[in-house]
Amino acid sequence: MTRDAQPRDAENASLLGFRHHDHGACVADALASADARCADEGLRLTPVRRKVLELLLQEHRALGAYAILDLLRDAGFGSQPPVAYRALDFLVENGFVHKVERLNAFVACAHPGQAHSPAFMICRMCDAVAEAQSLPAKGALGAAARAAGFQIERTVVEAEGVCPTCADKADA
């Protein structure tokens, strides 16, 4: 794991959109809205699941399953891999969290509620991840899929590059 489990400070906690924002409120809001949606839809946002979501919202960056597992252990939950993976499965399945395939890591959804095809911008220097929307079925890929008779169910769109912060540093 290159991403460690500890830092929860302001610098790390504000990277997701490549810009700063009011984080405490954003975590609380997201949790509350997750509670609401689960109640609505009869989903069970159990303590482990809620804690994993909270951790990902808190950190506001992509975390590997084992980093999450460390934090779970610290919080008094089970510390074997399936504990983390099962919670993540639930959260991903229900759109609260996305998996970043390129990093084998997980990040809280930045646009919860709305159905969407997420796209990610991943900084290769600092591993910051920003979520954007993508409409992959609209472009060249969608055309190719229609031509081939392929039915798209889900898409992975991830751009690797350099975030503005790291680009500035590199210039200096």
Partner DNA sequence: CGCAATAATGTTATAAAATCACATGGGGGT
Partner DNA sequence: ACCCCCATGTGATTTTATAACATTATTGCG
> Dihedral sign, CA of 150, 155, 159, 164?
positive
Contacted by 155, from DNA, its own copies, none: CB < 5 to 8 Å by type: its own copies
Contacted by 81, from its own copies, DNA, none: CB < 5 to 8 Å by type: DNA
Q: Which stretch binds DNA (CB under 7 A): 33-41, 45-53, 122-130, 164-172?
A: 45-53
- Residue 88 is classified by DSSP as H
Contacted by 85, from DNA, its own copies, none: CB < 5 to 8 Å by type: DNA
Which residue from 46, 45, 23, 48 is spatially nearest to 34, judged by alpha carbons?
Answer: 45
Among 8, 29, 36, 79, the residue binding DNA under the rule CB under 7 A is: 79
SS3 19: coil
**Choice between 79 and 133, CB closer to its own copies:** 133
The reply to whether 1 sits near its own copies by the rule CB under 8 A is: no
Q: What is the largest CA-CA distance in the chain?
A: 52
Q: How many other CB atoms sit within 10 Å of the CB of residue 38?
A: 17
